[in-house]
Structure formats: C-alpha cells, structure tokens
Structure 1
Amino acid sequence: MEDILSALPETEVKGDVGRSTSFEVTINGHLMFSKLKTKGFPISKDVIKQIEVAKQGGKCEEITNSESPGCTIL
C-alpha cells in the first residue's frame, strides 16, 4: 500500500475485512486482483499501472501476476 500511495498520493486506499485468507483489489468497483485466484499478493507496480489506466479513463485489465505470500516455519 505504501508503494501505491508514494507513486499516486491522490489515490484513495481503503481496507475492508473480507473472507478468511482473501485479499482483493478493486478499482472503481471492479475486481482487479484476487489472492484466492492467484494464491499470492499483487505486485505493486501492476496495481499502480492499472490505477493510472483508470485515471486516464481507460479499461483496467485483471492483474494475474502475484508474489508468493511467503511462509514462516517456526
């Protein structure tokens, strides 16, 4: 989130509690990314690119690239 706000400070970012293990990104009400679908978290530069497309009135594309959610074994 910090990467997005640094690149696009006028962007409104909000969080809502969702389903267990879910993480979704919507832009103007359209689902752009789902962790349940990709099994990872979105890459910030991909989210920033789609926000810029939306700001210019373009049609956003679904984000399918993801980073590993990571795993910690104790």
Structure 2
Amino acid sequence: MSTNPVQDEIIQEVSNARVEGRVGRRSSFEVTINGKQVFSKLAQNGFPVYEKIVEEVIKASKGVEVSEVAEVQSSKCVIS
C-alpha cells in the first residue's frame, strides 16, 4: 500500500495501471490519464472525489475516452 489513497484505489480496480506521482507547483494536484488531464486541484479548488478518478481509469483501461472530473470532496474544515 502506498501513502496515496487514490493510487491505492486505482491499483485495486485496475491492477495493471501504471500510477506515477510527481512534485508539481505548490498546492497543485493534477490527474492525467493517457496524456489527457482529467483533474486539476488548482482549477477545481479542492481534491477530486477519488471514486470518480477510478471510474475514469477503468474507462481508459477498456479503451473508452476519458472525461474531465469536476466533482470535489467536501471540505471538512469548518470555520466559525
């Protein structure tokens, strides 16, 4: 198991997937599948719903074109 939960979910569902992590810009988190960016934390202002990323990886593994993921996780931070 890695320290990256989305990577773990991807490998669990698509065992032959190659998942790479690279250090990017500060506060960035981007997901690219087969050369197509499907998610950007900087553009969406949050982390993706991991299940949506996994769904796109499964589509790609079946030869189906992937789509952009726009759904983000709900923030657990409450400021009062």
Given the two structures, how large is their TM-score scaled by the length of structure 2?
0.79
Cα RMSD between the aligned structures?
1.9
Q: Does 1:5 align with 2:2?
A: no
Residue matched to 2:40: 34
Equivalents in 1 of 2:44, 2:32: separation in Å?
15
Higher strand share: 1
User: For residues 61 and 50 of structure 2, what CA distance do their matches in structure 1 show?
Assistant: 16
Aligned length: 73
SS in 1 for 2:28: coil
Structure 2: how far apart are the matches of 1:33 and 1:68? 16
- 1:69 CA drift (Å): 5.7
Q: Distance in 1 between matches of 2:39 and 2:31?
A: 5
Match of 1:55 in 2: 61
Q: Which residue of 1 aligns with 2:49?
A: 43
Distance (Å, rounded) in 2 between the aligned partners of 1:39 and 1:45? 18
Residue ranges of structure 1 left out of the alignment (5+ in a row): none
Unmatched 5+ stretches in structure 2:
1-6
- TM-score, normalised to structure 1, is 0.84
- Structure 1 residue matching 2:69: 3-state secondary structure: coil
Aligned residue type for 1:3: E
Identical aligned pairs, as a percentage?
Answer: 38
